[in-house]
Amino acid sequence: AGAVRGALRALCLAALLGALRAGGTELTLELPDSAQRCFHQEMESGIKFTLDYQVISGGHYDVDCYVEDPNGKTIYQETKKQYDSFSHHTEVKGVYTFCFSNEFSTFSHKIVYFDFQVGDEPPILPDMNKRVTALTQMESTCVTIHEMLNAVIDSQTHYRLREAQDRSRAEELNGRVSYWSVGETLILFMVSIGQVMLLKSFFTEKRPSSGGAGT
């Protein structure tokens, strides 16, 4: 019995690790002003894919995004979005393209995070979708742990993005405060010099002119 339980635990752990490694791409990219970056993915028909993205820093934290199918048809398009999620089932086989555009901005660089997932999540246990009998306690525990781990991963990603966004805003505010402080210092310095020169002009004795009528 102990060996069977050990084998089940090993199978459960391997299934969980395999499920956590299931397909997907996460990337954080820099998008310069007036620029556009595109990515391409070849997929079969009838496959589900999901695109999640969020602007971490830059400008008003917005970006244009669109997705095209292999025929050049636009299946998703949004302008000046801070974040969004898009899911779609492919209808034709070929290369799908999704692009992020910052062409509407002339001076703001953007940092964009996206998560591109292809296909449905595979079952964590063999033939789980075809079973007609109830799950055992060990299998139910594996499913529960898997769902909790997915929730933890989603929460970690969410808080990591929030932390990066908040840090970017804090650095931006710190820069503005620093520039404002330097400007105020320069203004006070110039006003002080002006006041000193003005007061000095009040107390400066004017020498009488040397010219005059002779006696």
Q: Which amino acid is at 132?
A: V
As a whole number of angstroms, the distance between CA 21 and CA 91 comes to 26
pLDDT grade for 71, boundaries at 50, 70 and 90: very high
99 burial (CB, 10 Å; 0-12 / 13-18 / 19+) is middle
As a whole number of angstroms, the distance between CA 201 and CA 203 comes to 6
Choose among 23, 21, 22, 20: nearest CA to 142.
Answer: 20
pLDDT at 124 over 50: yes
Of the listed ranges 7-16, 48-57, 83-92, 174-183, the one predicted with least confidence? 7-16
SS3 48: strand
Identify the pLDDT of residue 15.
Answer: 43
Choose among 128, 133, 125: nearest CA to 9.
Answer: 125
pLDDT, average across residues 111-123: 82
Cβ neighbour number for residue 57 with a 10 Å cutoff:
18
* Dihedral angle over CA of 58, 64, 69, 71, nearest 10: -130
Q: Is the pTM of this model over 0.85?
A: no
What digits encode the pLDDT tens for the residues 128-177? 556 656 667 777 787 788 778 878 877 887 788 778 778 877 888 888 89
Tokens for 112, please give them: 């964009």
